[in-house]
Structure 1
Amino acid sequence: MEILQQDDQYIIKIPVADVDARVLDKLLRQIRLQSMLAGRQGTDEQAAALAQDVNSDWWIKNKQRFLQ
């Protein structure tokens, strides 16, 4: 693995044989999330409300899978 810094970016080189594509996809999603959140500001209360909304929406869409 090689990590380079070029101007204001990181360049990461990972041999294909070293990392499963699914693991890499999960890692990249986490990095994208961090990037999106980096410029956002909010209170703990707003974060809690958002988490509640997301959880409620998820349950509405998926409850049939668990209640059958």
Structure 2
Amino acid sequence: MENLQIERTTNQIILKLNKKGFSGEFLDSLIRRLKTEELAQKSALDDKILKIAEEINQDWWDKNGEEFLKNIAK
């Protein structure tokens, strides 16, 4: 079996993942990401909200980035 198989039907896309082909951490992360994407689409986020989120993120990095990354080799 391949590690990843994709099947398309009229109403579904079926992903089949071979558990032996991926780490458990990766699979958990992938599932969380898919659930997050689903929730984001349901929330009907618009560009204004996304712009605000980007500004908040940038502000945090401007204030905290140097401290956060101080122990990482450059």
Same fold (TM over 0.5): yes
How many residue pairs match? The answer is 64
Q: Tell me the percent identity.
A: 15
| Greater percentage in helix | 1
Q: TM-score normalised to the size of structure 2?
A: 0.53
For residue 16 of structure 1, report the CA deviation from its aligned partner.
3.0
2:59 partner SS: helix
Give the Cα separation in 1 of the matches to 2:17 and 2:46: 37
Q: Give the equivalent residue in structure 2 for 1:50.
A: 53
* Unpaired stretches in structure 1, ≥5 consecutive residues: 4-9
2:43 partner SS: coil
Q: How does 1:1-40 map to 2 (within 5 A)?
A: 14-40=17-43
For residue 37 of structure 1, report the CA deviation from its aligned partner.
1.0
Pair 48,19 (structure 1): closer, same or farther in 2 beyond 3 Å: same
- Root-mean-square deviation (Å): 3.2
Pair 15,63 (structure 1): closer, same or farther in 2 beyond 3 Å: same
* Unpaired stretches in structure 2, ≥5 consecutive residues: 7-12
